[in-house]
Amino acid sequence: MKMDSRFSFEVLCQSEDGARRGKLKTPHGTIETPAFIFCGTKGTVKGLCAEQLRSCGTQFVLANTYHLHLRPGEDTVAALGGLHAMMDWHGPLLTDSGGFQIFSLGQGSVAQEIKSHRTFNGPRTLIAIEEDGALFRSYVDGSLRKLTPETAMAIQKKLGADIVLPLDECTPYRVDKSYTAASMARSHRWEMRSLDEFQRLNDGFQALYGIIQGGIYGDLRGESCEFVGAHNFFGQAIGGSLGGSSTEMEDVVSMVCEKKERTKPTHLLGIGSIPHIFHGVRNGIDSFDCVHPTRLARHGGALLTNFKSDGRGHINLRNCRFARDNSPIDSDCDCHSCKSASRGYIHHLLKSGETLGGQLLCMHNVRFMNALMERIRDAIGRGGTASVEELYLA
């Protein structure tokens, strides 16, 4: 890929534990890495307006091509000025290719596998995976849709995010090595077609990441790292199945990070628990995304350090023990929620079905993640992330 001056990635320093601090420049601003990317699935981070996201120190937001393609449609987003203008989010944006949702919503997710739901009872919206692309049904109106590497690029061009991803098959965990190898090879062919189409459409305002596949198999992951490293992708994302347990996931991430090309910004797709972030950072991951902070908020959960939450990493404010708790979610947090609302008030709002409860929690969880990443970046400059990990995971 021609390195356009609107995009650049620079590693500023690396600590002994392997973590690196960097600057990722996009047309909508420069992201300090390692960074957390918040999920604005359907064009909004659940319950928060862009101003609130900014006030929480948010750098980077992700939106889902699959959802936005089905509703309101990329032409409508374009008519509303593109994703940045539509969402009033004028900072860096990333869109995925739609692949993850087609496969995870269409045939059951990796999480469902891990939780031993052997049979997937959701509507099977995935119709067929062909060489050309993926056939699926719209969950909005039941219509038949086809996403190809080329249409995924065209849709993302209309959405207008800064960083875009190629169509890939998100390989499930339950498949065997030969399926994973064949799927990876097809994803590579799709990525090459995506790169061609991207370059044909590119006007310098978007950058394309390659996706590293290969499931849990070291040789396949190595092959995929080589593939993505050898081609003109601006950055790289680690996708596909990372295994069936937390330990296996960390092993796969370590393995991939050893083999990955080192000058490209590297994103770890869909991972965002605190221990995994520390592990990823030490392996040279530059960005993370996960619905966890915002989804947890919708279910009443407030992120806290293990120390403050008796080791669980969060507290659930729906619990009756918080009914008369007049303290803030976290007395050390500087977010608007912690400055203005007590745990007892949020408990009341959640119990009463008032949306403000989830909003206040969402704001706190977003600020919590941003503060975590700020501390991690700071610590990298000062030698290593161990002191921060102790603060969060003690």
Binding site for a second copy (CB under 8 A): 42-44, 46-51, 67, 71-72, 76, 79-81, 86-88, 323-324, 326, 336, 340-342, 344-345, 347-349, 351-352, 354-356, 358-360
3-state secondary structure of 154: helix
* Catalytic residue, candidates 162, 168, 286, 289: 289
* 20 vs 46, beta carbon nearer a second copy: 46
Please choose, from the candidates 10, 32, 34, 20, the residue with its C-alpha nearest in 3D space to the C-alpha of residue 384. 20
Q: Is 289 one of the annotated active-site residues of the chain?
A: yes
Name the minimum Å distance from CB 319 to a second copy.
Answer: 14
Q: How far is CA 222 from CA 129, 252, 258, in A?
A: 25, 11, 9
Q: Is 330 one of the annotated active-site residues of the chain?
A: no
* 86 vs 302, beta carbon nearer a second copy: 86
Name the minimum Å distance from CB 30 to a second copy.
Answer: 23
The conformational region for residue 204 under phi > 0 = left, psi -120 to 50 = alpha, else beta, is left
Name the minimum Å distance from CB 365 to a second copy.
Answer: 16
Task: Identify the residue whose tokens are 């875009």.
Answer: 164
Name the minimum Å distance from CB 316 to a second copy.
Answer: 17
* 275 vs 344, beta carbon nearer a second copy: 344
* 249 vs 362, beta carbon nearer a second copy: 362
Can you spell out the DSSP letters for 208-273?
A: EEEEE--TT-HHHHHHHHHHHHHTT-SEEEE-S---SSHHHHHHHHHHHHHHS-SSS-EEETT---
Name the minimum Å distance from CB 84 to a second copy.
Answer: 12
* Catalytic residue, candidates 96, 162, 286, 330: 96
* 19 vs 86, beta carbon nearer a second copy: 86
309 touches 58 (CB < 8 A):
no
How many CB atoms within 10 Å of residue 337? 27
Q: Catalogue the active-site residues.
A: 96, 289
